[in-house]
């Protein structure tokens, strides 16, 4: 039998800053991040939608930049995340950081949400 949840705080995001280490060029690079809230996630998705040449497009790069700016709290060496710095990361660094946060998932599979 599954225990019934009663503490609403268990449903809230983890607000603690957490470490993330990336191995690159034979060195350890230490990042710090926090989980983003559902509302922040939705805002990042909203910002990913752009109009170009009268077409509505979803720009994954815009989405991920917004997520990184919200979720990353410290870059290696103690630097604050900025658009300029993040946009110049090697792809392997960006791919590692993407594992820390939810993707845009524009078509969620509602069948995965199980009704009790």
* Residue 88, pLDDT score: 97
* Residue 33, pLDDT score: 97
Tokens 């110049």 sit on residue: 88
- For 17-47, give the DSSP string: -EEEEEEETTEEEEEEE-PPPHHHHHHHHHH
Q: So where are the chain's domains? A: 15-101
Digitized pLDDT (tens) for each residue of the chain, 116 residues in all: 888 888 888 877 777 899 999 999 999 999 999 999 999 999 999 999 999 999 999 999 999 999 999 999 999 999 999 999 999 999 999 999 999 999 998 665 555 554 44
Helix or strand holding residue 74 (H, E): strand 72-74
* Residue 115, pLDDT score: 46
Are 50 and 79 within 8 A, CB to CB?
no
Count of all residues that appear for the chain in the document: 116
Whether this prediction's pTM lies above 0.75 is answered by yes
């Amino acid at each position: 039998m599954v225990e019934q949840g009663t503490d609403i705080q268990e449903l809230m995001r983890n607000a603690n800053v957490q470490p993330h280490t990336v191995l690159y060029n034979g060195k350890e690079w230490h990042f710090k991040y926090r989980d983003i809230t559902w509302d922040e996630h939705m805002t990042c998705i909203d910002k990913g939608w752009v109009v170009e040449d009268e077409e509505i497009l979803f720009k994954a790069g815009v989405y991920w930049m917004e997520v990184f700016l919200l979720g990353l709290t410290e870059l290696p060496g103690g630097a604050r995340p900025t658009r300029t710095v993040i946009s110049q990361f090697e792809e392997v660094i960006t791919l590692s950081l993407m594992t820390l946060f939810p993707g845009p998932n524009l078509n969620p599979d509602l069948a995965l949400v199980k009704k009790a």
